[in-house]
Amino acid sequence: MVEKGSNPLQDPSADPANTLENDPDCKSKLSKQLKEYDIKLLKSMKGFGKTMILWIISKERIHGYEIMSKLNTINPKKEMQGKPGKIYPILHDLEKAGLITGTWEAHGKRKLKYYEITEEGVETLERIKRVFRCHRTALLEEFWRDMLTKN
């Protein structure tokens, strides 16, 4: 059992029920592999949005409006959809952290900034995947099954 106030992301061995015994990634000290920004992404729901945006950028070279459009396809309510005031600060944060790079390009009279993932961004996504794999529990699996299953 994890002590109250402890952080299982910083000590994956704290709760043996949350580790996958046969996974060599989980046997190592995962917390030593995590960087400060990885922990920031994992600690909050805001981090989930940032992680999703980083993942989208890992799939293709893309500009901000396209990212917003992709995110808006998963939000059924108009008021919950991504807006420039939310998306662009995240892109700037990811760029400042060195996880993505942006390049301005002219398209007619407009300039668009295209984003690509950096090697550090790829490594960050890999570390986050390891955390999710190593801390997978029956409760989380049931939660995602329920959330992703159509009624």
- Reported as a single tens digit per residue, the pLDDT across 20-38 is 445 555 655 666 677 887 7
Other C-beta atoms lying within 10 Å of the C-beta of residue 26 = 19
| Distance between CA atoms of residues 21 and 17, nearest Å | 9
Query: What is the rounded average pLDDT of the residues 130-140?
Result: 81
DSSP letters spanning 121-133: HHHHHHHHHHHHH
| Distance between CA atoms of residues 71 and 52, nearest Å | 9
Percent of the chain predicted with pLDDT > 90: 37
Sequence spans of domains, the chain? 33-148
Other C-beta atoms lying within 10 Å of the C-beta of residue 84 = 10
Architecture, CATH, for domain 33-148: Orthogonal Bundle (1.10)
Residue 2 DSSP code: P
- Strands 100-107, 110-117: parallel, antiparallel or unpaired by DSSP? antiparallel
pLDDT of residue 77: 60
| Distance between CA atoms of residues 133 and 128, nearest Å | 9
Query: 3-class DSSP state for residue 7?
Result: coil
State pLDDT tens for residues 65-115: 999 988 888 766 665 556 778 899 999 999 999 999 999 999 899 999 999
